[in-house]
C-alpha cells in the first residue's frame, strides 16, 4: 500500500504544448481522488504520468517515500482500468480476469483464488465461463475492473471507465466502483469529465482547467465554497447562476440590475473582503436550489424574475427565468496563471422549485433568497471574495 505525491509536476510535449503545469497533489493511502475537468485540461496526462506511461517533464512523482520518475511502468505496482474494456474476445471471463496473473507467473492455485474472489465481489461468479461478446456493457466493465483488482496493486488508476455506458448503467456502476475501492483500500486516482461522477465518488475532488489545478477539496466544500468562477460554474447541475452585480457603499446591499438585495450582518462578517468592492462590479453567484419560490409569509430577501420556461421533472420543477441584471458565464483566460474572466451569456437563469408550486411561462415570479448562500467573485481575477 502507498500514498501518491505529485510535487510541481509538469508535462511539456516536444511541440511546446504544456499539458500540465506545476501540479501539487497528495493522495493518501486508501483515498479515492477524482480528477475532473473539461476535455484537454490535462487530467488523463496526470494519470499517465503516475502510471509511468508518460515521461514527467518537471517535478517529482512519489509512491510513499520513493521517487518513481524513472521507474518503468511495469515496476510501479499500478493497475489501470481504461475507458475501453480491452478484453480478449477469445477468452472467457475467468481467463480475462486472470490473464495478468499468468503473465506474472502467479501459481495456478493462487490465481484461481484471486479470480474467484474478484468475481464474487463484482457479481461475476455466474458468468465466469462466458466470453465478452455474451456480456452486457456493465458486465464487461466489471471484468476489466476485476482484471485490475486481482493484481492486488498498491495503486489503482481509472481513466473514465464508465464513459461508454448508458446513463442508467453509469449510476449503477458508480456505486460498484465506490464499493470496490473501499474493499481494496488502496490509493486511487479516478479521471472523469463528468462532475456528477466526481461529486458522488470522490473522497476529494481535484478540478483542473488548462493544465492547472483550480481547487482540490471534498465535494461539499467545492460545492459550498468554490475558489473561483470556473469551479463555481463547473460544479453543480444545473450550473450556478452568475449575475453582474455591485456592492452598495454601506456594504449592506448587493445591486442586481434594478433590484437591491439586503445583505445580513453575518454575510458581511463572513466576507470582509466585500468592503474593497463598494460601488464596483462583482460577480454574484446563486445556485438553482437556493432559489425556492417565495410565499406570502417570506420576510427575507426576494429576487424577482420573468419566467421563460418550466421543466416539470416530477420531483422538482426547473424554472428558467430572466432578470434585468446581466448574466455572465465563467471562462478561462489565456493567461499563465489560468485566472477566470467573464463573458455575457445568452442562457436564462435556472431555479429549482417545488413541483407543487404553480408556475407557468410568461408570469412574474418571486424567489426567496437566502443571502448566506450567495457567492461573490472578482470579475477580473475570477477569485472568490472572502477576506
> Do 320 and 347 fall into the same domain?
yes
Cell of 284: 454574484
Tell me the percentage of the chain whose pLDDT exceeds 90.
78
Which residue has cell 482547467?
A: 209
Buried-exposed string 233-263: b where 16+ CB fall within 10 A, e elsewhere:
bbbbebbbbbbbbbbeeebebbbbeebebeb
Q: Are 243 and 324 in contact, with CB atoms under 8 Å apart?
A: no
Interatomic CA distance for residues 14 and 37, integer angstroms: 24
pLDDT score of 222 more than 50: yes
State which of 226, 252, 287 marks the end of a domain.
Answer: 226
Q: What is the pLDDT of residue 135?
A: 94
Cell of 280: 464596483
**Number of structural domains, the chain?**
2
Residues in CB range of 162: below 8 A, 6 or more apart: 141, 169, 170, 173, 174, 177, 192, 194, 197
Q: What is the pLDDT of residue 75?
A: 93
> Do 345 and 266 fall into the same domain?
yes
> Do 222 and 284 fall into the same domain?
no
pLDDT score of 338 more than 50: no
What's the pLDDT band for 344 if we cut at 50, 70, 90?
A: very low
Q: Looking at residue 81, which CATH number applies to its domain?
A: 3.40.50.300
> Do 254 and 186 fall into the same domain?
no
Q: Are 91 and 97 in contact, with CB atoms under 8 Å apart?
A: no
Interatomic CA distance for residues 190 and 43, integer angstroms: 9
What's the order of all strands across the beta sheet hosting 155-159?
78-81, 155-159, 187-192, 32-36, 204-209, 212-217
Interatomic CA distance for residues 124 and 94, integer angstroms: 9
Closest-CA residue to 137 (of 180, 194, 94, 176): 176
State which of 196, 226, 256 marks the end of a domain.
Answer: 226
Q: What is the pLDDT of residue 97?
A: 95
> Do 198 and 239 fall into the same domain?
no
Cell of 170: 453509469
User: What mean pLDDT is reported for the chain?
Assistant: 91
pLDDT in tens, 144-183: 989 988 988 999 999 999 888 888 888 888 888 898 899 8
Helix and strand totals (H; E) in the chain: 9, 21
Task: Report, as an integer, the average pLDDT of 285-289.
Answer: 96
State which of 226, 246, 271 marks the end of a domain.
Answer: 226
Flag whether 340 is in a domain: yes
Tell me the percentage of the chain whose pLDDT exceeds 70.
94
Cell of 96: 480475462
Q: Looking at residue 260, which CATH number applies to its domain?
A: 2.40.50.140
CA neighbours within 13 Å on the CB side: how many for 250?
8
Flag whether 81 is in a domain: yes
Flag whether 364 is in a domain: yes
Q: Are 150 and 103 in contact, with CB atoms under 8 Å apart?
A: no
Output the CA–CA distances (angstroms, integers) from residue 369 to 159, 225, 266, in the order listed: 40, 18, 15
Q: What is the pLDDT of residue 300?
A: 80
> Do 208 and 312 fall into the same domain?
no
pLDDT score of 289 more than 80: yes
Task: Report, as an integer, the average pLDDT of 46-58.
Answer: 97
Flag whether 158 is in a domain: yes
> Do 104 and 134 fall into the same domain?
yes
Flag whether 256 is in a domain: yes
pLDDT in tens, 94-147: 999 999 898 888 999 999 999 999 898 888 999 999 999 999 988 998 899 899
Task: Report, as an integer, the average pLDDT of 222-251.
Answer: 94
Omega into 238 within 30° of 0, i.e. cis?
yes
Q: Are 35 and 4 in contact, with CB atoms under 8 Å apart?
A: no
> H helices within 255-382, ranges in order?
265-270
> Do 98 and 139 fall into the same domain?
yes
What's the pLDDT band for 298 if we cut at 50, 70, 90?
A: low
Flag whether 387 is in a domain: no
What's the pLDDT band for 342 if we cut at 50, 70, 90?
A: very low
Flag whether 47 is in a domain: yes
What range does the domain containing 373 cover? Answer: 230-377
Least trusted range by pLDDT, from 69-73, 89-93, 171-175, 211-215: 171-175
> Do 214 and 355 fall into the same domain?
no
Interatomic CA distance for residues 132 and 135, integer angstroms: 5
> Do 215 and 237 fall into the same domain?
no
Q: What is the pLDDT of residue 348?
A: 83
pLDDT score of 337 more than 70: no
Task: Report, as an integer, the average pLDDT of 311-320.
Answer: 96
Interatomic CA distance for residues 372 and 265, integer angstroms: 10
Residues in CB range of 103: below 8 A, 6 or more apart: none
> Do 293 and 203 fall into the same domain?
no
**What is the DSSP pairing of strand 58-63 with strand 66-67?**
antiparallel
Q: Report how far apart the first and last C-alpha atoms of the chain are (Å, whole number).
A: 40
Residues in CB range of 252: below 8 A, 6 or more apart: 262, 263, 268
Cell of 25: 497533489
> Do 46 and 177 fall into the same domain?
yes
Flag whether 386 is in a domain: no
**What is the DSSP pairing of strand 349-353 with strand 317-322?**
antiparallel
Cell of 16: 511546446
Task: Report, as an integer, the average pLDDT of 334-357.
Answer: 64
Amino acid at each position: 500500500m502507498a500514498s501518491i505525491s505529485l510535487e510541481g509536476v509538469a508535462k511539456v510535449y516536444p511541440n511546446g504544448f504544456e499539458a500540465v503545469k506545476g501540479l501539487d497533489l497528495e493522495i493518501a493511502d486508501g483515498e479515492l481522488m477524482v480528477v475532473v475537468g473539461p476535455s484537454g485540461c490535462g487530467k488523463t496526462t496526470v494519470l499517465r504520468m503516475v502510471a509511468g506511461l508518460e515521461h514527467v517533464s518537471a517535478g517529482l512523482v512519489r509512491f510513499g517515500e520513493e521517487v518513481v520518475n524513472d521507474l518503468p511502468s511495469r515496476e510501479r505496482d499500478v493497475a489501470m482500468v481504461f475507458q475501453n474494456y480491452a478484453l480478449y474476445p477469445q477468452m472467457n471471463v475467468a481467463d480475462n480476469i486472470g490473464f495478468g496473473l499468468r503473465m506474472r507467473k502467479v501459481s495456478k492455485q493462487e490465481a484461481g483464488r484471486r479470480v474467484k474472489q474478484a468475481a464474487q465481489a463484482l457479481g461475476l461468479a455466474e458468468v465466469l465461463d462466458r466470453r465478452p461478446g455474451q456480456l452486457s456493457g456493465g458486465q464487461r466493465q466489471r471484468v476489466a475492473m476485476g482484471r485490475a483488482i486481482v493484481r492486488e496493486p498498491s495503486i489503482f488508476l481509472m481513466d473514465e471507465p464508465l464513459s461508454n455506458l448508458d446513463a442508467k448503467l453509469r449510476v449503477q456502476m458508480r456505486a460498484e466502483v465506490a464499493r470496490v475501492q473501499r474493499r481494496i483500500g488502496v490509493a486511487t486516482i479516478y479521471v472523469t469529465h463528468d462532475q456528477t461522477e466526481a461529486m458522488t465518488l470522490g473522497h476529494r475532488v481535484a478540478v483542473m482547467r488548462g493544465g492547472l489545478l483550480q481547487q482540490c477539496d471534498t465535494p461539499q466544500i467545492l460545492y459550498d465554497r468554490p475558489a473561483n468562477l470556473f469551479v463555481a460554474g463547473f460544479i453543480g447541475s444545473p450550473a450556478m447562476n452568475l449575475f453582474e452585480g455591485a456592492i452598495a457603499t454601506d456594504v449592506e446591499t448587493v445591486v442586481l440590475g434594478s433590484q437591491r438585495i439586503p445583505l445580513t450582518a453575518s454575510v458581511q462578517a463572513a466576507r470582509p473582503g466585500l468592503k474593497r468592492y463598494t460601488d464596483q462590479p462583482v460577480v454574484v453567484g446563486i445556485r438553482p436550489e437556493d432559489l425556492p419560490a417565495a410565499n406570502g409569509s417570506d420576510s427575507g430577501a426576494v429576487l424577482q424574475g420573468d419566467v421563460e420556461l418550466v421543466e416539470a421533472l416530477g420531483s422538482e420543477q426547473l424554472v428558467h427565468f430572466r432578470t434585468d441584471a446581466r448574466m455572465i458565464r465563467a471562462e478561462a483566460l489565456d493567461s499563465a496563471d489560468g485566472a477566470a474572466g467573464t463573458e455575457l451569456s445568452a442562457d436564462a437563469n435556472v431555479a429549482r422549485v417545488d413541483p407543487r408550486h404553480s408556475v407557468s411561462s410568461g408570469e412574474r415570479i418571486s424567489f426567496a433568497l437566502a443571502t448566506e448562500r450567495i457567492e461573490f467573485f472578482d470579475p477580473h481575477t475570477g477569485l472568490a471574495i472572502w477576506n
